[in-house]
Amino acid sequence: MNNNISSLYNTLQDGVNDVQSRIAKTSNELASGKQPLSKQDASVVARLSNTALSQSGIKANITNANNLIDVSQTGLSSVATILTEMKGLAVQISDGLSNEADQASLLRTFRQLSSQVDGIAATTNINGNNLLSGGQSISVVSATDGSNNQTTTIQGIDIPSLQAQINDLPFDGGSDQIKQSATTAITLLNQFISNISSAQSSLTAAKDSLDVSLSTSNDVALKAQKTVDQIQNVDITALQMQLQQLNNQQTLDFQVTSQLRSMASSILSIFR
C-alpha cells in the first residue's frame, strides 16, 4: 500500500514539476511579449523584418528628395517673380522713352535683380544637392523588394547658364545698342520664364511619383510588420488566463502531494 502511495506521489510530483515548467515558460512569454518560434517561422520573421527595415531607408530617401523639391520649387517661384520684374524693366528700356538718368536707374535695377537670380540659384540646396545650378539630376531609390531597387530621377535646371545669356548682353554701348540689348533680353527672359515653368511642372510630377512610392513603401512596411507581429507576438489575455489556470493547478497539486506525503509518513509510523 505504501508503495502505491509512493508511486502516486512520484507521479503527482512529476506533474507538479511540469506545471512549474509551464508557469515559468508562460511568465517569460508574458514578460517578453514574444513566443518561441520554429525554424520556419523564425526564417519568415527574419525575412519580413528585413523587408520592413529596407522600407525605412526608402522612406528616408523619399522624404529627403521631397524636401529638396520643396526648396527648389520655392527658389523657382522667387526666380520667376524676379524674371518678370526684369522683363518689365527691359520693356521700359527698349521703348527708348526714358531720359539718360532714368535709363541708368533702370539698368542698375535690372542688374541688381539679375544678381539676385544668381544668388538664389547658388544657395538653393540641401546637403550640397542643388537642382537649380548646373542642371544636376538626382536619382532617388524610391522602391525595393529587398533585392532589386527602383529609382526616380529628379531633373534640375541650369539657371546660371540661362542667366549668363542675359548677363552677357552689351548694355554699356550707345542708346541704340542698349535698346537692342533690352529687346534681346525680353526674348531671352520669355524663354527663361517658360523654362522655369517647365522645371516647376517636372518637379511637381516627380514629387507626385515619389508620394505614390512613399505610400506604397508604407503599405509594404506595415504589412510586413503586421505579419511578423502575428507570428511572434503572444496573446496577452489568453496567456494571462493560462497562467492563472496553471497557478490554480499548482496550488491543487501542492495540496494533494502534501496530503500523500502525510499519509505515507503515517503508514510508515505504523510499521516501526
> Which H or E run contains 51?
helix 39-94
Q: Which residues contact 154 (CB under 8 A, 6 or more apart)?
A: 65, 68, 69, 131, 137, 138, 139, 140, 203, 206
Average pLDDT over residues 152-170: 91
Average pLDDT over residues 51-63: 90
CATH number for the domain harbouring residue 183:
1.20.1330.10
Query: Domain span at residue 221?
Result: 59-231
Same domain, 171 and 265: no
Q: What is the pLDDT of residues 207-217, one digit of tens each?
A: 999 999 999 99
Same domain, 92 and 224: yes
Same domain, 242 and 206: no
Cell triple for 176 = 541704340
Backbone angles phi, psi at 133, to 5 degrees: -130, 120
Average pLDDT over residues 231-249: 67
Q: What integer best gives the mean pLDDT of the chain?
A: 82
pLDDT confidence of 33, banded at 50, 70, 90? Answer: low
Among the listed residues 117, 110, 103, the one whose alpha carbon sits nearest the alpha carbon of residue 86: 110
Same domain, 259 and 179: no
Could you tell me which residue, 235 or 168, shows the higher pLDDT?
168
pTM equals: 0.72
The CA distance from 118 to 109, in Å, is: 14
- Residue 204 resides in a domain: yes
Same domain, 28 and 89: no
Q: What is the pLDDT of residues 242-256, one digit of tens each?
A: 657 766 667 766 676
Same domain, 90 and 225: yes
Q: What is the pLDDT of residues 97-118, one digit of tens each?
A: 777 788 889 999 999 999 999 9
Same domain, 204 and 168: yes
- Residue 93 resides in a domain: yes
- Residue 50 resides in a domain: no
- Residue 45 resides in a domain: no
Same domain, 241 and 226: no
Q: What local confidence, expressed as pLDDT, does residue 213 receive?
A: 93
Could you tell me which residue, 202 or 17, shows the higher pLDDT?
202
In the chain, the percentage of residues whose pLDDT exceeds 70 is 74
pLDDT at 1 over 50: no
- Residue 44 resides in a domain: no
- Residue 53 resides in a domain: no
pLDDT at 15 over 90: no
Any idea which of 15-24, 64-73, 190-199 has the lowest mean pLDDT? 15-24
Same domain, 95 and 121: yes
- Residue 42 resides in a domain: no
The total number of structural domains that make up the chain: 2
> 155: which strand partners?
137
- Residue 54 resides in a domain: no
> Which H or E run contains 155?
strand 149-155
Q: Which residues contact 16 (CB under 8 A, 6 or more apart)?
A: 250, 253, 254, 257
pLDDT at 194 over 50: yes
Same domain, 159 and 263: no
